[in-house]
Amino acid sequence: MSFKHLKKVFQLTAVASLVSLLAACSGGTSGGPAAAQADAAANSGSGSSVSPEGRVVLDYWTWWGSETRRPIIEKLVDDFNKSQDKIFVKHSYYPYSDIFTKELAAVSAGNPPDIMMNDINTVQQRASKNQAMNLSKYVERDKVQDRFFPELWNTVLYNGDPYALPFNTDTRMMFYNKDDFKEAGLDPDKFPDTWDELEQAAQKLDKKHGNTYTRIGYSPQFNSDWNLLQLNFDGGRNFFDESGKPVVNAPAKAEAMQYILDNAKRLGQKNIDAFKADFGSQQANPFLSGRVSIWTDVTNFYTQIRDYGDGINFGVAPLPETKEGAGHWSVGGGFVIEIPYGAKHPDEAWEFLKYMTDVEAQTYWAEKNFDNVANKEASNSSELMSNPVYKASVENLAHTKLTPNPLNAPDYMNLINPQRDAIMLGQTSIQDGLNKAQADVEKLVSGK
């Protein structure tokens, strides 16, 4: 075979592999694992001035590949690598849509990454199915448990043993436009305390041009919905009671739905849908563009206001309560850092877990991302607390509930959501819909 011929074969092979790469992209739900792999390969150990030679190399998977987040996570990894000479952590990025299935496949193949970021609400599920490693011997040795908010710590326990360390969390709050409040004759420094007061204030904030709304004060359907309100109305209780029994059709949950329907009746569901359809992100966010006066979001929405809000005069407040003293309950989520089951270097990986949840790394993460972090001390650092929004978010954690998936009914929301939709669409009454959802979930839990 002549050299020229050989070159041609190489070119063809290169084109063929590129085509298959593209095909993989379009076939997947988004970026595609193939693309991510190439990306990860190109970036392995990137930004690091230290070399992995002679050290234990750990593979650390996250989905933090955005321009904002990637440098932050890689700075933390780099600092860790510089700090010691036995372990070298390599950060691999995979898109959010692929990373969990990919991890699952890797765990079942017995070749998992060493460290993994994962969802806080499903730790118990993974623990019960041998997908994450039991960390109790490390936790007992190093006594790290007191670092964390107890509510978050509880989510990582399965049969009393920890299977992950909490990393970050969030909480939903009310962002409101103070100028709109002034204009409507409302006190800009006082956000409505109860849901009824909120509805009254919202009416004053609405603005109409002819028959169409140019501004809607508030709708519980904007970036929020019954799944959030039902917990707030029900004293912080989600769809299961203390004993694990489903309580989908509890009276408070029906009241929350009634509140949403009343609001929709007043504004017109069509108007709400029209607004929702136009929502975008960044500058096109309806709160930032002045089309909505009160907006429910997690607290790092603050970074969007800061970056795209054009000096908007805003306030932040907890969700209202049903009546005085009922509680401003909110919902939070978040992520944990864990060692997948079957990882080859758990001792070394644990060192990294400890480092990532320690005060320094957590403070850095909180400052840069404006995320609520799991470490209490970092969360309460004076520098962060000097920002009123951050301070409010940390205070809000006190009445924020996490909603881990119950082990015996991990996909219960698939049964509740369709009934919620049916009620919202007026195809069934509130009580009938919730009773049906209750029956469906009970059936799922009983396993029949």
Contact flag: residue 422 with other proteins (CB under 8 A): yes
Query: CB 201 → other proteins: shortest distance, Å?
Result: 25
Query: CB 421 → other proteins: shortest distance, Å?
Result: 4
Candidates 104-112, 147-155, 287-295, 327-335: pick the segment binding other proteins (CB under 8 A). Answer: 104-112
- Which residue from 274, 284, 385, 398 is in contact with other proteins, where contact means CB under 8 A? 274
- Phi/psi at 62 (5° precision): -140, 170
Contact flag: residue 333 with other proteins (CB under 8 A): no
- Which residue from 8, 82, 129, 344 is in contact with other proteins, where contact means CB under 8 A? 129
- Which residue from 418, 432, 442, 445 is in contact with other proteins, where contact means CB under 8 A? 418
- Which residue from 11, 13, 68, 108 is in contact with other proteins, where contact means CB under 8 A? 108
Mode of pairing for the β-strands spanning 334-338 and 157-158:
unpaired
The 206-225 contact track toward other proteins, x by CB under 8 A, reads -------------------x
- Which residue from 21, 50, 57, 104 is in contact with other proteins, where contact means CB under 8 A? 104
Query: CB 126 → other proteins: shortest distance, Å?
Result: 8
Which tokens in the block code for residue 113? 């990454």
User: Residue count at the site for other proteins (CB under 8 A)?
Assistant: 36
Q: Cα separation of 89 and 63, whole Å?
A: 16
- Which residue from 53, 270, 281, 324 is in contact with other proteins, where contact means CB under 8 A? 270
Contact flag: residue 131 with other proteins (CB under 8 A): yes
Contact flag: residue 341 with other proteins (CB under 8 A): yes
Candidates 121-129, 155-163, 253-261, 352-360: pick the segment binding other proteins (CB under 8 A). Answer: 121-129
Q: Cα separation of 252 and 245, whole Å?
A: 16
Q: How many CA atoms lie within 13 A of 137 on its CB side?
A: 5
Mode of pairing for the β-strands spanning 87-93 and 334-338:
unpaired
Contact flag: residue 427 with other proteins (CB under 8 A): yes
Candidates 287-295, 352-360, 391-399, 419-427: pick the segment binding other proteins (CB under 8 A). Answer: 419-427
Closest CA to 399 of 338, 322, 331, 345: 331
Candidates 122-130, 137-145, 235-243, 300-308: pick the segment binding other proteins (CB under 8 A). Answer: 122-130
Q: Cα separation of 446 and 448, whole Å?
A: 6
DSSP assignment letter at 405? P
- 194 versus 417: smaller Cβ distance to other proteins: 417
- Which residue from 417, 432, 435, 442 is in contact with other proteins, where contact means CB under 8 A? 417
Give the long-range contacts of residues 79-84, CB within 8 A, separation 24 or more: 79/361, 80/352, 80/355, 80/356, 80/361, 81/48, 81/50, 82/49, 82/50, 83/355, 84/351
Closest CA to 373 of 76, 136, 112: 76
Candidates 22-30, 194-202, 312-320, 350-358: pick the segment binding other proteins (CB under 8 A). Answer: 22-30
Contact flag: residue 25 with other proteins (CB under 8 A): yes
Which residue type is seen at 233?
A: F
CA angle centred on 414, ends 278 and 295, rounded to 5°: 35
Question: Is 414 in a helix, a strand, or coil?
Answer: helix
Candidates 266-274, 290-298, 355-363, 365-373: pick the segment binding other proteins (CB under 8 A). Answer: 266-274
Candidates 42-50, 97-105, 234-242, 367-375: pick the segment binding other proteins (CB under 8 A). Answer: 97-105
Contacts of residue 206, Cβ cutoff 8 Å, sequence gap at least 6: 213, 215, 216, 217, 267
Contact flag: residue 411 with other proteins (CB under 8 A): yes
Q: How far is CA 198 from CA 181, 194, 320, 393, in A?
A: 12, 6, 7, 20
Contact flag: residue 446 with other proteins (CB under 8 A): no
Contact flag: residue 100 with other proteins (CB under 8 A): yes
Q: Cα separation of 101 and 107, whole Å?
A: 10
- 74 versus 114: smaller Cβ distance to other proteins: 114
Contacts of residue 437, Cβ cutoff 8 Å, sequence gap at least 6: 248, 249, 415, 416, 419, 420
Contacts of residue 252, Cβ cutoff 8 Å, sequence gap at least 6: 230, 233, 234, 235, 237, 322
Query: CB 424 → other proteins: shortest distance, Å?
Result: 8
Q: Which residues bind other proteins (CB under 8 A)?
A: 25-30, 100-101, 104, 107-108, 125, 128-131, 225, 270, 273-274, 277-278, 341, 410-411, 414-415, 417-418, 421-422, 425, 427, 440, 443, 448
